[in-house]
């Protein structure tokens, strides 16, 4: 029997981060309590960061190794012919608000020296007053927005919405956006780390100078017709489509199991506990189901009596 592929997370320090990955998910984080960890890159194939396989027949290999040498075997016949694994899967610990920012669309990314990036958010935990900032208010024109950048009032131009556990939002490239503080987010995105900030709450990075803004590039990328966007929730069986990937949600009650079809999947456990292929996973875990298990994998909920449901995000090719 084949086993799921388990990857070692890569942690990123961020001025807006914290240590909730340890308290909520039991992660062993680098550094002491003063080191703010904002992002866990759980599935990553980038020059500056590589997921390494832990255990099993691929132990010690990087995600990039698997992508370049075993693409069809592990990632399936539908895998795109990209230079790198085309997705970056994260958990964000936003203890403080992120900068108001935008990611470049494909048509502008190369010209601006960056990478295109669209992303999907899923709220695993949120404080009562936690906010999402996404899209522009209907009355905001480019001129009004540019004036707000000069005045330091940019948040007033961006739609704000309260966020609760289970909420989700599609953030296409060109959409101005930010996470507020007090939330834990599963983020599935294109494999990019290009962000153009237009407002950063006047804070500094590690007590030094204020963090760099990228106003000229951001203004070229913002879709000023992007108004009226709203959050939603993924019902089991629904699919959210992004550029080159799709996401669905699986919800299992205690003892319930589901047989996955053959093919490649990225699985993210957002609540509860499950077992799959002889391995156990709990909330905050990512794992890969390789395409070479022709019979498909069985995922079983193993939550105890105090919990009722296990929920997973399922990411695959369109």
If we measure between CA atoms, which residue out of 93, 99, 92, 96 comes closest to residue 201?
Answer: 99
The dihedral built from the CA positions of residue 94, 242, 83 and 2, taken in this order, carries a sign that is positive
Do residues 77 and 52 lie in contact, with contact meaning Cβ atoms separated by under 8 Å?
no
If we measure between CA atoms, which residue out of 16, 296, 14, 10 comes closest to residue 183?
Answer: 16
- According to CATH, where is 2.60.120.10 located in the chain? 7-233, 239-316
Do residues 201 and 99 lie in contact, with contact meaning Cβ atoms separated by under 8 Å?
yes
Dihedral of CA atoms 118, 120, 126, 129 in degrees, nearest 10, equals 50
CA neighbours closer than 13 Å in the CB half-sphere of residue 187? 26
Cα separation of 14 and 88, whole Å? 17
Per-residue pLDDT of the chain in tens (318 residues, 90 and over written 9): 589 999 999 999 999 999 999 999 999 999 999 999 999 999 999 999 999 999 999 999 999 999 999 999 999 999 999 999 999 999 999 999 999 999 999 999 999 999 999 999 999 999 999 999 999 999 999 999 999 999 999 999 999 999 999 999 999 999 999 999 999 999 999 999 999 999 999 887 666 678 899 999 999 999 999 997 899 999 998 999 999 999 999 999 999 999 999 999 999 999 999 999 999 999 999 999 999 998 999 999 998 776 779 999 999 999
The rounded Cα 33 to chain-centroid distance in angstroms is: 24
**Which pair of tokens denotes residue 154?**
């940019």
**Coil/strand/helix, residue 43:** strand
Q: How many CB atoms lie within 10 A of CB 294?
A: 8
Question: Looking at beta carbons, which pairs linking 23-26 to residues 24 or more positions away fall under 8 Å?
Answer: 24/125, 24/184, 24/283, 24/284, 25/91, 25/282, 25/283, 25/284, 25/285, 26/282, 26/284
> DSSP letter string over 35-56?
S-EEEEEEE-EETTEE-EE-SS
CATH class of the 7-233 domain in this structure: mainly beta
User: In b/e form, how buried is each residue of 215-239, taking b as 16+ CB within 10 angstroms?
Assistant: eebbbbbbeeebeebebeebeeeee
Q: What is the CATH number of domain 239-316?
A: 2.60.120.10
Q: How many CB atoms lie within 10 A of CB 164?
A: 14
**Which pair of tokens denotes residue 251?**
């919800």
**Which neighbouring-strand residues pair with 170?**
120
| E strand or H helix that includes residue 298 | strand 298-301
**Which pair of tokens denotes residue 144?**
């009004």
């Amino acid at each position: 029997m084949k086993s799921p592929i388990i990857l070692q997370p890569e942690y990123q320090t961020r001025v807006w981060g914290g240590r909730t990955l340890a308290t909520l998910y039991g992660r062993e984080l680098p550094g002491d309590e003063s080191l703010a960890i904002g992002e866990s890159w759980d599935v990553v194939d980038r020059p500056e960061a590589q997921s390494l396989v832990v255990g099993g027949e691929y132990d010690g290999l990087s995600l990039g190794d698997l992508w370049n040498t075993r693409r069809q075997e592990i990632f399936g016949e539908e895998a795109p012919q990209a230079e790198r694994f085309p997705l970056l899967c994260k958990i964000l610990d936003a203890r403080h608000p992120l900068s108001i920012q935008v990611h470049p669309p494909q048509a502008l990314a190369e010209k601006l020296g960056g990478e295109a990036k669209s992303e999907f958010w899923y709220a695993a935990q949120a404080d009562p007053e936690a906010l999402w900032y996404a899209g522009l208010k209907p009355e905001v024109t480019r001129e009004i927005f540019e004036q707000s950048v000069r005045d330091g009032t940019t948040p007033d131009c961006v739609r704000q919405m309260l966020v609760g556990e289970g909420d989700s939002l599609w953030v296409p490239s060109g959409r101005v956006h930010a996470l507020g503080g007090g939330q834990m987010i599963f983020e599935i995105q294109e494999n990019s780390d290009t962000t153009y900030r237009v407002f950063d709450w006047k804070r500094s990075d590690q007590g030094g100078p204020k963090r760099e803004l990228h106003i000229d590039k951001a203004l070229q990328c913002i879709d000023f017709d992007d108004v009226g966007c709203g959050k939603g929730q993924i019902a089991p069986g629904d699919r959210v489509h992004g550029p080159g990937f799709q996401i669905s949600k699986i919800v299992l009650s205690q003892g319930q199991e589901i047989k996955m079809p053959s093919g490649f999947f990225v699985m993210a456990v957002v609540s509860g506990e499950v077992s799959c292929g002889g391995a156990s996973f709990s909330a905050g875990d990512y794992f890969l189901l390789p395409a070479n298990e022709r019979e498909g994998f069985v995922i079983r909920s193993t939550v105890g009596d105090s919990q009722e449901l296990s929920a997973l995000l399922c990411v695959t090719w369109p």
